[in-house]
Amino acid sequence: MDRYLLIVSTVCFLVAIAHTALQMRGGIFRPMRFNFFAVGLGFIFQTAFLSIRGHALGRCPITNLFEVIVFVAWSIALFYMVVGPGYRLSLMGAFTAPLVVLLQLFALLAPIDKPHRVRLPANSWLEFHASISLVAYGAFALACIAGAMYLVQERQLKTHHLHSIFYHLPPLTDLFAAITRLLWWGFGLYTLGLISGFFVGEPLPWIQIMCAIGVWFLYGLILQGRYLHWFAPKRVAALCIIGFSAALSLLWGITFTAQTHTP
Amino acid sequence: MNLSCVGLSHHNADVEAREYFAGHVESDRALRNCGCNEALVLSTCNRVEVYAASEKRVSTDEIARCLVRDDTPHRFAPPFYRYEGEKCAQHLFRVTSGLDSMVVGETEILGQTKKAYEAARATGAAGRYLHRLFQRAFRVAKQVRTHTEITRGAVSVGSVAVDLAHKIFGDLQNCKVLVLGAGETSERTIRALVSRGVADLRVSNRSPERGEALALAVNGRAIAFEQWLEQCGEIDILITSTSSEVPLLSQKKLAPMLRERIDRPLFIIDIAVPRDVAPDVNALDGVYLYDIDSLQSIAEQSLATRRAQVAAAEQIISQHVAEFDAMMTRGLNCPAQSSEHPTVGIVEQGS
């Protein structure tokens, strides 16, 4: 039953994409409220899904890969709802929706929604550690999206080929400022998640710990490079995309490994 | 009640004729005396038009006479155009939407029309018929701007440069601008940048006198020509328009200066012919180089986009013309929609 909520949520995000695609095809792009509302509605259905699943499990619904992916998609939508209008990055919805749809479609279509045979005991530190780390993934995802927007805008400015979207994308300096803030938010939350992992009170697989520390180092390096002027903004934007792709693959690895180790 | 528009514009009359028929303070009264129940004169640098509502038809010659500043006989046989009823509404909707402007899609005309309308309302020259017509025209203009790309992009070199600067830096208030060469186009570009809030202006010219004169004119400061290159580490926008035969700035010269400002973009506007900046400079990270051809090409592209949107705008206009015509046929006695209530005092004139 709860899967239907997720399907409706995915449809909402798809509507946002279709609306954008139609407008782009017509040569007119309006970074309108429509995208914000469509994503907002999708977010409400995602929240409803997670809430029902959480009640059924009696704990935070991140017990298998399916739930983890949906939780990440929810974090992305959450950050968009908070960051998008705040930074006047209205077009971000057009970039956010495809990523959320990809994640949710994969979650819905792949046979990964396997319930645990035994009811997992609630562990507040473990739940805090996992959920805060996944929310950090939402910030990293938004930094990745802002990075993609930066690269699109930068390319148009470099090549002098200005498309309709150019006039609706935010200025480069604003995008770079948003990337930096999102990286700090993500890094801060992820650090918090990592530290809380030490209080879980049960042994975690070493590969999981190594992967988590690897992601932490990766984003630490991007931030370090940004402030020590090792990387130009364009490279920081590209690294945000590479970083999130790597983090997402590691997340899959972590969850997959964790599942194979649980009874 | 007949609605009509009589006028001349840049399409059919030269500036001398437009000046002669530009209207005057007594035009409103003169138009009323010749039989117009309501009349509004829209006089801009590109057009002079009278929108009138009258019981009987007032001839074009009579209206034209009301616009003449003095009694001196004119040498012109001005080709006044005249639109009645729905054609009048269609013409006004096209005017306020910028479709009839010299630069398609320009938005200044909407502000000018609003001003003319407010003035006519204040003096009582515009009553409920013109009120309905103009309120509808403002709605149409807004809808056209929202639902088409008719106003998209800049169409002059100066405004394209300003638009690009905005897309790179966002707020231009803290941008530092260096102008190399005191040419006319660079002065126009500086003025456009100043209008967007740029305050830190530096001017460098081979002839210090001209450089200082331009710096004084734009409220900037003059920099010795020998020192301009050092400024590249500090500035955000460089505008070059010297008459140098060889490029003054190359990748080799600029690259070392960019190391310290890796996170700050540099926007170079090279409007000199031959070019002052070697094209390979654009390959540097964070440098955006635009020469006169690329700026002009963007301006032309914007103009083409605007023209391509004309059909969509005309479609919106025809829908509104049909609705407005139906409303006029029904008469104004039927209840008005709330959005069509006057924003200033209602002056009931004629019926």
**Chain B residues near residue A235 by CB distance under 8 angstroms:** 285
Q: Is B308 on the interface with A (CB under 8 A)?
A: yes
Per-residue model confidence (pLDDT) at position B338:
39
Q: Is A162 on the interface with B (CB under 8 A)?
A: yes
Q: Which residue of B has its CA nearest to A166?
A: B167
Burial A149-182 (b: 16+ CB within 10 A, else e): bbbbbbebbeebebebbbbbbbbbbbbbbbbbbb
Same domain, B67 and B83: yes
Per-residue model confidence (pLDDT) at position B351:
28
The per-type count for chain B, helices as H runs and strands as E runs, is 13, 10
Q: Which of B106, B130, B149 finishes a domain?
A: B149
Domain residue ranges in chain A = 2-261
Q: Does any domain span residue B319?
A: no
**Chain B residues near residue A229 by CB distance under 8 angstroms:** 259-260, 262-263
**Chain A residues near residue B301 by CB distance under 8 angstroms:** 162
User: Nearest CB to B298: which of A28, A162, A172?
Assistant: A162
- Nearest CA to CA, how far is B236 from chain A (Å)? 12
What would the two tokens of residue B8 be?
A: 């001349």
In terms of DSSP bridges, do strands B237-240 and B221-223 run parallel, antiparallel, or are they unpaired?
Answer: unpaired
Q: Is B79 on the interface with A (CB under 8 A)?
A: no
**Chain A residues near residue B147 by CB distance under 8 angstroms:** 28
Asked if the model's pLDDT at residue A141 lies above 50, the reply is: yes
Cross-strand bridge partners of residue B277: B249
pLDDT band at A119 (very low <50, low <70, confident <90, very high): low
**Chain A residues near residue B294 by CB distance under 8 angstroms:** 160
- Nearest CA to CA, how far is A87 from chain B (Å)? 12
Per-residue model confidence (pLDDT) at position A254:
65
- Which residue type, as a one-letter code, is found at position A11? V
Same domain, B136 and B11: yes
Name the packing angle between helices A33-57 and A92-109 (round to 10°): 30
The Cα A15–Cα A226 span in angstroms is 36
Q: What is the average pLDDT score of chain A?
A: 84
Cβ atoms within 10 Å, residue B235: 21
Q: Is A161 on the interface with B (CB under 8 A)?
A: no
Residue A248 or residue A234, greater confidence: A234
For chain B, residues with pLDDT lower than 70 are 70-77, 332-351
Per-residue model confidence (pLDDT) at position A26:
65
Largest CA distance in chain B: 77
* Contact predicate A174/A153, CB 8 Å: no
Q: What is the pLDDT of residues B16-25, one digit of tens each?
A: 888 888 887 7
Q: Which of B149, B182, B212 finishes a domain?
A: B149
Q: Does any domain span residue B121?
A: yes
Q: Does any domain span residue B342?
A: no
Same domain, B143 and B219: no
pTM higher than 0.80? no
Location of structure tokens 């279509």 = A109
Location of structure tokens 């470099």 = A158
Same domain, B173 and B295: yes
DSSP state of B333: T
| Contact assignment for B152 to A226 by CB distance below 8 Å | no
Same domain, B187 and B212: yes
Per-residue model confidence (pLDDT) at position B46:
87
Phi, psi of B242 (to 5 degrees): -90, 170
pLDDT band at A212 (very low <50, low <70, confident <90, very high): confident
Per-residue model confidence (pLDDT) at position A251:
76
Asked if the model's pLDDT at residue A173 lies above 60, the reply is: yes
CATH number reported for the structural domain that contains residue B72 in this entry: 3.30.460.30
Q: Is A245 on the interface with B (CB under 8 A)?
A: no
Structural domain count, chain B: 2
Per-residue model confidence (pLDDT) at position B60:
87
Give the least confident one: A69-73, A133-137, B26-30, B343-347. B343-347
What would the two tokens of residue B10 be?
A: 């840049």
What would the two tokens of residue B243 be?
A: 């008459």
Same domain, B53 and B81: yes
Q: Does any domain span residue B320?
A: no
Q: What number is the ipTM of this complex?
A: 0.78
| Contact assignment for A27 to B148 by CB distance below 8 Å | no
Location of structure tokens 């400022």 = A177
Q: Is the dihedral of CA A44, A45, A50, A53 positive or negative?
A: positive
| Contact assignment for A169 to B148 by CB distance below 8 Å | no
Residue B175 bears catalytic tag: no
Radius of gyration of chain A (CA): 19
The Cα A168–Cα A112 span in angstroms is 39
Sequence-separated (6 or more) residues with CB below 8 Å from residue A57: A63, A119, A120
Q: Which residue of B has its CA nearest to A156?
A: B288
Q: Is B311 on the interface with A (CB under 8 A)?
A: no
Closest residue by Cα to residue A132 from A204, A179, A190: A190
Q: What is the pLDDT of residues B169-202, one digit of tens each?
A: 998 999 999 999 887 777 888 888 888 889 899 9
Closest residue by Cα to residue A241 from A144, A99, A165, A169: A144
Q: Does any domain span residue B265?
A: yes
User: Nearest CB to A229: which of B262, B290, B305?
Assistant: B262
Per-residue model confidence (pLDDT) at position B192:
84
Domain encompassing residue B142 = 2-149
Q: Which of B265, B282, B302 finishes a domain?
A: B302
User: Nearest CB to B170: which of A160, A174, A233?
Assistant: A174
> Percent of chain A, pLDDT > 70?
86
The Cα A242–Cα A143 span in angstroms is 11
**Chain B residues near residue A169 by CB distance under 8 angstroms:** 167
**Chain B residues near residue A30 by CB distance under 8 angstroms:** 146
Q: Does any domain span residue B311?
A: no
* Gap between the terminal Cα atoms of chain A: 26
The Cα A159–Cα A129 span in angstroms is 45
* B243-246 own/partner pairs: CB under 8 Å, 24+ apart: B243/B181, B243/B272, B244/B272, B244/B274, B244/B276, B245/B274, B246/B274
Same domain, B83 and B209: no
Per-residue model confidence (pLDDT) at position B346:
30
Same domain, B32 and B139: yes
Q: What is the dihedral of CA A114, A117, A119, A123, to 10 degrees?
A: -70
Q: Is A160 on the interface with B (CB under 8 A)?
A: yes
Give the least confident one: A82-86, A124-128, A209-213. A82-86
Q: Where are the beta strands (DSSP E) in B215-341?
A: 221-223, 237-240, 266-270, 287-291
Q: Is B294 on the interface with A (CB under 8 A)?
A: yes
Residue A34 or residue B333, greater confidence: A34
pLDDT band at A250 (very low <50, low <70, confident <90, very high): confident
User: Nearest CB to A171: which of B169, B285, B298?
Assistant: B169
Which of B5, B36, B45, B175 is catalytic? The answer is B45
DSSP state of B270: E
Report the run of H or E that residue A42 belongs to, with start and end: helix A33-57
- Report DSSP letters for A167-214, one per residue: GTSPPHHHHHHHHHHHHHHHHHHHHHHHHHHTTS-S---HHHHHHHHH
Mean pLDDT on A124-139: 87
Per-residue model confidence (pLDDT) at position B49:
93
Per-residue model confidence (pLDDT) at position B195:
85
The Cα B345–Cα B342 span in angstroms is 7
Cross-strand bridge partners of residue B266: B287
Sequence-separated (6 or more) residues with CB below 8 Å from residue B331: none
CATH number reported for the structural domain that contains residue B261 in this entry: 3.40.50.720
Q: Does any domain span residue B187?
A: yes
Asked if the model's pLDDT at residue A120 lies above 50, the reply is: yes
Q: Does any domain span residue B205?
A: yes
